[in-house]
Structure 1
Amino acid sequence: MYKHLFLLTSAAITAPAMAGEEPLYQPAPAWVSVKPLPADTKGPTIVLYDDERRLVEGTVTNYTDRALRVDNPQMLNTLGTIQAPWLPDKGDLIIHRVEIIRGAETIDVLAQGSKFDVLRREQQLEQRTLTGAMTATMTVPGLRVGDILRVAYSMTVSDQTLGKEVQAVVPLIAAPVDAKSASVQLSWPVGSDIRWSTTHPLHLPEPVAAGGFESITVMLPLAKPEDMPGDAPARFKLPNILQAGSFAGWQEVSSVMAPLYATDGTIAADSPLAAEVAKIVAASDDKMTRMAAALRLVQDEVAYLAVGMEGGNYIPQSPADTWQKRYGDCKAKTLLLLALLHAMDIKAEPALVSSVAGDAVSEMLPMPGAFDHIIVHATLGGEEYWLDGTDSGATLATLKAVPPFRNALPVRAEGAGLVAMTPRRSGQFDRSIKITYDNRPGLDLPMLFDAEWTVGGSFAGTLRALIDQAGKDQMDDLIAGFVASSIGPTQVIEGSMTFDAANNRAIVKVKGLMTTLWRWDRGQGKRQLNLVTTGFEFKPDRSRKAWSEIPVELDGPSAQMNEVTILLPDTEGKFELEGKTTLDEDIAGTHLERSAKIEGNRFFVTDFATSQGGELPADQAMAERSRASRLGSLALTLEAPRDVSRRFEFAGKRDRSRLAPIEQAYAKLIERKPDDADNYLNRARFRSGTYDRDGALADMNKVIELAPDTQAYWTRSGLLLDLGRLDDALADARAASDLDPSVGSAIYEAQILAELDRVDEAIAIVENLDGDANERQSIGMELSDLYAQAGRKDDGFAKIEDLLAERPGDPTMLNARCWFKASWNYQPDDLAQVCTRAVEQSSWSPPVLDSRAMAYFRLGRLQEALDDIDAALLSSPELSPTLLMRGVVRKAMGDKKGSDDIAAALARDPSLERKYAHYGISVR
């Protein structure tokens, strides 16, 4: 903030006069009341803040005097260089004072010969803006921490467009900003027709007359502004500003600007622009179509470049120049569009708007400086249209949309007052998506999708520019990024991004593969649909009494649509929908519509939301909030039957025909980029997840050939373990540990050694480990298992007890104690009680039920073991160890189905046989 206190910019909003291109060095003007520094400079960093403006028939002089204390090295860096950008074609920069106050000593930096250097460059060119600004800079010599830096300067500004009229806008600092001495003063000749006001109710003193001038002074800082709700209209959130000007009203502002936008004679006969008019007229007899064509011409064929130099603050370049140069700012584009429309006998006029203040313009003092943008206000067939030449994506349908400027000042020779821009929805969707997800192979498998996006409006224009410039690789990246931003991470198999010039829309088509969006809750598959309407909520906060009458600013205008199809797998059970399947509501200016249904093995939903923007009075907003609340959740969830097939059903099966489309998709991805390790890695994960371990191993061999890293070696090691190649698995584990010598790598290596019955080596590795609290827990739990395998069950249990003493009541450690005692059949006397406590503390978690089932099995309480196992598998049917134990328990009960369970579990995880053999449990 302090840096900007020394940024010498004019807050008077005016334009050109003959001036110098070098700063002047002169004493302060005689009319200025130069303030002394406070006697006591301790306290706030801002020691002096003096802002004085004099308004005299067509000229505003802005005098600024700042004194700031350099409190720390950071401020020394910030304040040590003064920057003074100014517009030499609009006025003079006059330096009065640069001083360093050090205790009782005052060092006159200018008297020592230091001057400002002038940089001649366009600082905002990257924002497509030419201002003609120059920047005077000075690195203050000798400035130290503890010094006070005082800088005083003046800027004079006048405007040839405004003639004798003047305008000024002065920011008023307010708490929590603090200052030792701060004030703002405005002055003008006695008898001048100057009006002034503030943007918030503020008691201003009566003007004081002296020496032929009247003045008002505001002491600063003001009190902290009242907090406002974030969704309050802009007029309630305006900063504290003092405004002054000589305009009698909005009518005068309108009429002053009108001559700049006269179109008579701006399109010469037989000129290139006349030829463009002729093309548009010949293409259609419909005036709406012609208006849309003219707007598209201005938007698409003329680049944006703001020109604020040489009177360009308010004066637009001619239509002929704009068309010849093929660039222009809002003024130039508006005048060009007006000329085209008038040549086609379409009623249109310029309209001043504010892209920042919006509805707050109505609270501001009438002056041109209240606006920063200009558009076209057209009338056709009794309807109003607001046309912005600097936007993009114009079509017949988008002409209806009303941009969110809220207020406009029509520019007319006879003058006009502010008019409200009544919100109105667009005639087409800004973005729509039609997408089909293919879940027929299975809900917990990667899913193919086929999608088409249609994008309009300004974003379509942005995409058009990218489409025109992108090479093949850039286009691939652009498509991938677009899809990811819309539906999440995906792998694009084939895609295109094109621009439909006839309809001014960007079209993105993609076929791809992505991770399933189904989630499993207690054994049931659910997919929550990400629709346009599901994100809707209307919860304005007007709970404070001071806010009770503040209107609510509404989002918009916008319009989006989803059409989603999901192809579902064959199953005996039925898929169900949870949530609102139909919706047709208008709430708080937003129309919500939805239609969802399941037909056979196909789910389909059409869902869209359109909002018009604008604002709601507080009482209506509260009523709409109640309606939104009564509407309830708009989430829509697709629920699968419990008998739907799962990926683990492929374990041990040779028929993988259902997976062929996914295999083909991965093959295409690899064919496109055969040296991309991620493609092989993703296919390896898919194959491993569907128990094609040989295929997954082949892919991991390729991954390690292309991009070996720790995770790749771990993944391949796990596959080798499942294939029974323990020595090879150990080699990969050690390769991973070499790349990442972490606690996790060492523990994994030890686990493989234990499977090879090299327990002493495993113990030696783990006993030498140390780490943070979580790593120490992992180390302790691993040692407990290794000690037990080595026949040292007492030592193993002691490790568990030590960890539990550090984390009393920790459900993880309670389960660890239960599992150790049950799996190693250790001290069974209190086994049931220990495990029941673990179950209760873990809220009946399936893995903990599995532990207690092992305990009941050890105690010979087979039915209770089977009950816990069935409960765990109902909730989490993917638990292979639990399935194995069901087989063991069933066999012990004489149930022949136990062998089927064991076979299924070992097909999923062959290492279970070795692991349970260590516990003394034979699964054959």
Structure 2
Amino acid sequence: MLDGQLRIAPVVVALFALLISGAAEAGGFHKGDAPAWAEDLPIPAEIPAQRKQSPDGIYFLLSDDQIAWQGADKLSYSRTVTKVIERAGLERAAAISSDFAPEFEDLTLVRLNVIRDGKIIAWRDKLKEDIFRRETRLESGIIDGTLTVFLQLPDLKVGDAVDVIWLHRSAPVIKGAGQAVYEYLDYRVPVAETRVVVHWPNGVPLHVAALPSRIEHVATPETGGLRLEWRLLNAMPNKLEDNTPVENDPDAALRISAEADWTRFSSLLAEYYQADYPLPPEWLARLDALKSQPAEKAAITALRMVQDDIRYVSLSVGAGGIYARPPNEVITSGFGDCKDKALLYRVMLHHLGIDAAVALTDVDRGYALENELPQPSVFDHAIVQVKLKGKTYWADATGSYEGGDFTTGAQPDYGFALPLRVKGQAFLEPLPVTPERNSTFITETFRFTFIGVFLDVQAEYRHDAANWKRQEFAVKPAQEIGDGYFDYYRGHYRGLRMTQTITMQDDRDRNIFTTHEVYFMSRAALAEPDLLTDFRFGAEDFTSNLPGTLDGERKLPMAVGGAKNTRFITRVVNGPIEFNPPAPVHLHNPGFQFNFNGTATPGGNMELVWSFRRTGKTVPAKDVAAVIRDDKLAENNISWSWDLSRRTDDQ
């Protein structure tokens, strides 16, 4: 569903929000038997090596998912067998829960057994369940209506195994979208046996994404279709290397779809998202006033209307997780989520005569979307594709405190998106982002006088950096922000004091945000021996997000971070010594560019200039060692100390 995907551990539950007090009132929860097509696997034997590596006092013996369709409804039979191996696992293993969306799902508890010393203790019909409405993302403004069925096992002991089976029946939210499956085969804990069985109907096209060769696979014809089985035995968790990109996640996930491309899916949703919708008279009047402006200016002003005037709240209950609320309703209520805002903005642009389409993406896993097969569960966010004068732009209507236009404002950095157009969009489109989209320019000036040292710091933030800084000053008092900067400088220069509260200027139209700080250190404070003889001039650590070391040969690519372009200048005026700057440094690799250059003139003047620019978002595995090596070189060339007590040109 849009506005967030949730992957729930089967034995973990957070009990907060609304208690619905009993199954009878929930309507979508039942206790019943397994369907005839479901197979009951024997419980695998323990594997000592896995048991030793199992965390939290629980060992997963079996994860078995079996999927079939009854008409358009999808039936998902999920069985988990866990064994309590330490006292630490009792609370977690005894808390039995599963989620369902009552608007289009039914949930049945098929089995709840405890196996102790080879004997089965059946608890399904003896325990009373509680049903909670747990809005786990309420603080983020998301209400999805998900219900959690919760049961607490009594008298659980170390050595017991818990055997639980749930059956979900899900009606399609998007009518006609076709069958699809997304199931994990790897987990972050050892599992003795993982299996997924899919009963695929005859006459439905079958497309399966590639899986690692370690996954066993069998396909067998059966009445009415094809039985597909994937099995993984004795699985240990994959080792995640630091900064592994989402698109290179080594965990195996089964992806099946009836669709070879996105045409059907996008056209079905486009019927809703490309339809025309009325707008309130007052908003139409505001839009009509924009028609005399250039199209780009009008489009940006309309975007700011949606961003600034409609607060973020997501009512993603049932079909509301896929389909936006009508724009009239969004405007009247004054709130909306990503799809509500995206549709509203698209309708406003249509009124202005500007071509636009709502587009689906994923906030955290957008760069992995090109690996996915068509199905709605891979998206959790909606943005807008705007076409102006032969150029394509992307806008996120949920943004806040953004400035600039389509060239200086924020371009969403989500990797890929699927525009919803009536004729159907077959393929995802990339969202281009350059390092200049996040630019910071900082200049420090140390001015030495007979009474002490004045430190003047001026910073200029452009594009995304300006948006982030603008938001920071909107939600925090300037004094708090200034105190944070002061703490940074005071950590290097003991005795420094702030002479005025940090000031800022915001040119939102050009999307340039500037700050100004002024500090002073008295001559007496400067004379402290450990400061005077070890006085630092340096920049920020540009690559602090990268791993510090490389353990063995890198197997996966490495993410180096999003767009970043920084220039840092330190100027020294009338210093007490003649300076000899360090030698220039120039580093260029698949991850970043780093340059340093220093100059000095007589009279104690020096200028140190650093520049940093990310040259790619990810680095191939073969180049990771070189990038980390350059990272260390850059780290060793971002600051130096001088002995200001020596009247020589030595450092």
Matched, 1:122 2:122: no
Q: Is the 8 A contact 1:84 1:137 kept in 2?
A: yes
Q: Is the 8 A contact 2:255 2:373 kept in 1?
A: yes
Instruction: Report the structure number with the largest CA radius of gyration.
Output: 1
Q: Is the 8 A contact 2:243 2:558 kept in 1?
A: yes
1:260-275 maps to which residues of 2 (within 5 A)?
Answer: 260-267=272-279, 271-275=281-285
Counterpart Cα distance in 1 of 2:275 and 2:84: 56
Counterpart Cα distance in 2 of 1:532 and 1:174: 35
Q: Deviations over 1:806-843 (max 9, x none)?
A: xxxxxxxxxxxxxxxxxxxxxxxxxxxxxxxxxxxxxx
Go from structure 1 to structure 2 and tell me whether the alpha carbon gap of 1:192 and 1:429 turns closer, same or farther (over 3 Å shift): closer
Counterpart Cα distance in 1 of 2:160 and 2:536: 64
Residue 509 (structure 1) aligns with: 516
Q: Which is bigger in relative contact order (C-alpha 8 A, separation at least 6)?
A: 2
Return the match for 1:314 from 291, 305, 322.
322
Residue 207 (structure 2) aligns with: 195
Counterpart Cα distance in 1 of 2:513 and 2:626: 39
Counterpart Cα distance in 2 of 1:385 and 1:637: 43
Report the residue type matching 2:65 in the other structure.
Answer: D
Counterpart Cα distance in 1 of 2:315 and 2:615: 32
The CA deviation at 1:29 is: 1.7
Go from structure 1 to structure 2 and tell me whether the alpha carbon gap of 1:437 and 1:367 turns closer, same or farther (over 3 Å shift): same
1:22-41 maps to which residues of 2 (within 5 A)?
Answer: 22-37=28-43
Note the residue ranges of structure 1 that are not aligned, 5 or more in a row: 10-18, 646-873, 876-924
1:701-720 maps to which residues of 2 (within 5 A)?
Answer: none
1:895-906 maps to which residues of 2 (within 5 A)?
Answer: none
Matched, 1:341 2:346: no
Residue 313 (structure 2) aligns with: 305
Secondary structure, aligned partner of 2:414: coil
Return the match for 1:296 from 295, 301, 304.
304
Counterpart Cα distance in 2 of 1:41 and 1:580: 58
Matched, 1:6 2:18: no
Go from structure 1 to structure 2 and tell me whether the alpha carbon gap of 1:481 and 1:629 turns closer, same or farther (over 3 Å shift): closer
Return the match for 1:278 from 283, 288, 295.
288
Q: Deviations over 1:18-43 (max 9, x none)?
A: x9545211111222112344588998
Go from structure 1 to structure 2 and tell me whether the alpha carbon gap of 1:139 and 1:295 turns closer, same or farther (over 3 Å shift): same
Return the match for 1:567 from 550, 567, 573.
573
Counterpart Cα distance in 1 of 2:153 and 2:521: 59
Note the residue ranges of structure 2 that are not aligned, 5 or more in a row: 1-6, 15-24, 52-58
The CA deviation at 1:75 is: 0.6
Counterpart Cα distance in 1 of 2:79 and 2:526: 62
Counterpart Cα distance in 1 of 2:317 and 2:573: 61
Counterpart Cα distance in 2 of 1:562 and 1:204: 54
Go from structure 1 to structure 2 and tell me whether the alpha carbon gap of 1:37 and 1:637 turns closer, same or farther (over 3 Å shift): closer
1:374-393 maps to which residues of 2 (within 5 A)?
Answer: 374-392=382-400, 393=402
Q: Deviations over 1:64-123 (max 9, x none)?
A: 1222222222111111222323211120111112122222432222333x1211123422
Report the residue type matching 1:159 in the other structure.
Answer: P
Residue 435 (structure 1) aligns with: 444
Q: Is the 8 A contact 1:69 1:146 kept in 2?
A: yes
Counterpart Cα distance in 2 of 1:214 and 1:20: 35
Task: Tell me the TM-score normalized by structure 2.
Answer: 0.81
Go from structure 1 to structure 2 and tell me whether the alpha carbon gap of 1:129 and 1:628 turns closer, same or farther (over 3 Å shift): closer
Counterpart Cα distance in 2 of 1:228 and 1:303: 38
Secondary structure, aligned partner of 1:291: helix
Counterpart Cα distance in 2 of 1:81 and 1:231: 33
Go from structure 1 to structure 2 and tell me whether the alpha carbon gap of 1:560 and 1:306 turns closer, same or farther (over 3 Å shift): farther
Return the match for 1:150 from 163, 166, 174.
163
Report the residue type matching 2:9 in the other structure.
Answer: H
Secondary structure, aligned partner of 1:413: coil
Secondary structure, aligned partner of 1:578: coil
Secondary structure, aligned partner of 1:93: strand
Matched, 1:249 2:249: no
Counterpart Cα distance in 2 of 1:332 and 1:147: 48
The CA deviation at 1:242 is: 0.7
Q: Is the 8 A contact 1:533 1:607 kept in 2?
A: no
The CA deviation at 1:311 is: 0.7
Counterpart Cα distance in 2 of 1:452 and 1:152: 62
Residue 198 (structure 2) aligns with: 186
Residue 222 (structure 2) aligns with: 210
Return the match for 1:580 from 584, 589, 599.
584
Go from structure 1 to structure 2 and tell me whether the alpha carbon gap of 1:361 and 1:452 turns closer, same or farther (over 3 Å shift): same
Go from structure 1 to structure 2 and tell me whether the alpha carbon gap of 1:88 and 1:486 turns closer, same or farther (over 3 Å shift): farther
Matched, 1:73 2:87: yes
Matched, 1:138 2:146: no
Secondary structure, aligned partner of 1:64: strand
The CA deviation at 1:132 is: 0.5
Counterpart Cα distance in 2 of 1:434 and 1:127: 36
Counterpart Cα distance in 1 of 2:71 and 2:593: 52
The CA deviation at 1:483 is: 4.7
1:333-732 maps to which residues of 2 (within 5 A)?
Answer: 333-392=341-400, 393-396=402-405, 399=408, 402-421=411-430, 423-425=432-434, 429-441=438-450, 447-455=453-461, 464=470, 467-468=473-474, 475-484=478-487, 488=491, 491-496=497-502, 500=506, 502-503=508-509, 504=511, 506-513=513-520, 527-531=536-540, 544=553, 547=555, 553-569=559-575, 571=576, 573-580=577-584, 587-588=589-590, 590=592, 596-599=598-601, 600-605=603-608, 607-611=610-614, 613-615=616-618, 634-635=637-638, 637=640, 639=642, 643-644=646-647
What is the CA RMSD across the aligned residues, in angstroms?
A: 4.2
Go from structure 1 to structure 2 and tell me whether the alpha carbon gap of 1:563 and 1:630 turns closer, same or farther (over 3 Å shift): closer
Q: Is the 8 A contact 1:567 1:602 kept in 2?
A: yes
Residue 54 (structure 1) aligns with: 68
Report the residue type matching 2:112 in the other structure.
Answer: V
The CA deviation at 1:241 is: 0.5
Report the residue type matching 1:53 in the other structure.
Answer: I
Secondary structure, aligned partner of 1:54: strand
The CA deviation at 1:451 is: 2.7
Go from structure 1 to structure 2 and tell me whether the alpha carbon gap of 1:20 and 1:162 turns closer, same or farther (over 3 Å shift): farther
Secondary structure, aligned partner of 2:251: coil
Report the residue type matching 2:332 in the other structure.
Answer: Q
Residue 169 (structure 1) aligns with: 182
Report the residue type matching 1:556 in the other structure.
Answer: G
The CA deviation at 1:137 is: 1.4
Q: Is the 8 A contact 1:579 1:636 kept in 2?
A: no
Q: Is the 8 A contact 2:221 2:227 kept in 1?
A: yes
Report the residue type matching 1:511 in the other structure.
Answer: V
Go from structure 1 to structure 2 and tell me whether the alpha carbon gap of 1:164 and 1:261 turns closer, same or farther (over 3 Å shift): closer
Report the residue type matching 2:335 in the other structure.
Answer: Y
Q: Is the 8 A contact 1:172 1:220 kept in 2?
A: yes
The CA deviation at 1:249 is: 1.6
The CA deviation at 1:495 is: 1.3
Q: Deviations over 1:379-410 (max 9, x none)?
A: 33333322222233231265576543322222
More strand by share: 2
Counterpart Cα distance in 2 of 1:263 and 1:456: 36
Report the residue type matching 2:483 in the other structure.
Answer: A
Counterpart Cα distance in 1 of 2:345 and 2:42: 55
Secondary structure, aligned partner of 1:332: helix
Q: Deviations over 1:888-917 (max 9, x none)?
A: xxxxxxxxxxxxxxxxxxxxxxxxxxxxxx
